[in-house]
């Protein structure tokens, strides 16, 4: 079952069980994906084209990151109830993301990508990141991985 099907099923379940907060977050996810589908059609893609699973995972990853930043800002501002709401949304969104790689797995993936891309200097960083994004989209935080790749190549 792909991510879109899981989202649709979760949306129906949330409606049936009257989980208002979860339903709200699932609708936000659907809206973000549909916005991206509409933008894709504007680029001249064929009729009925939709974004692929990798793009959906990227959208979900961005949504998690946005909410974590918002929660941090709310906590700094003393608005703990709003921070908790943002973190609750993060938990719902993360249900649809693949399991995140731990630090050891991430480091092993970076090492393997460096070998696969035949990288030996910082100029090859783009190729290494492309390999990682191709294999591990949604499974690692690329903002954290970038400096790791840079230090290994530098």
Q: What string of pLDDT tens digits covers the 154 residues of the chain?
A: 788 899 999 999 999 999 999 999 999 999 999 999 888 887 776 766 788 888 888 899 889 989 999 999 999 999 999 999 999 999 999 999 888 888 899 999 999 999 998 888 889 899 999 999 888 877 888 888 889 999 888 7
Q: Determine whether 119 is exposed, middle or buried from the number of CB atoms within 10 Å of its CB (0-12, 13-18, 19+).
A: buried
* pTM of the complete model: 0.75
The CATH 1.10.10 portion of the chain extends over 103-153
Architecture of the domain spanning 103-153: Orthogonal Bundle (1.10)
CATH classification of 3-94 is 3.40.50.1970, yes or no? no
Q: What is the Cα–Cα distance from 115 to 111, expressed in whole angstroms? A: 6
Other CB atoms within a 10 A radius of the CB of residue 34 amount to 12
> By the 8 A CB rule, do 93 and 58 touch?
no
Would you state the pLDDT for residue 45?
A: 66
* DSSP-assigned letters across all residues of the chain: --HHHHHHHHHHHHHHTT-HHHHHHHHHHHHHHHHHHHHHHTTTPPTT----HHHHHHHHHHHHHHHHHHHHHHHHTT-HHHHHHHHHHHHHHHTTSPPPP-HHHHHHHHHHHHHHTT--SGGGHHHHHHHHHHHHTTTS-HHHHHHHHHHHH-
Where does CATH 1.10.1510.10 sit in the chain? 3-94
């Amino acid at each position: 079952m792909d991510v879109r099907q899981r989202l649709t099923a979760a949306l129906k379940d949330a409606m049936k069980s009257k989980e208002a907060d979860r339903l709200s977050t699932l609708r936000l996810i659907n809206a973000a994906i549909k916005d991206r589908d509409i933008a894709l059609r504007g680029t001249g893609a064929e009729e009925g084209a939709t974004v692929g699973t990798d793009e959906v995972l990227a959208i979900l990853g961005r949504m998690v990151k946005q909410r974590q930043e918002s929660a941090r800002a709310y906590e700094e501002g003393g608005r703990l109830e709003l921070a908790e709401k943002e973190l609750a949304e993060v938990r719902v969104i993360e249900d649809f993301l693949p399991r995140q790689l731990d630090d050891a797995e991430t480091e092993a993936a970076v090492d393997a990508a460096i070998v696969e891309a035949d990288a030996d200097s910082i100029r090859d960083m783009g190729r290494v990141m492309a390999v990682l994004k191709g294999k591990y989209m949604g499974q690692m935080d690329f903002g954290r991985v970038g400096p790791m790749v840079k230090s290994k190549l530098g």
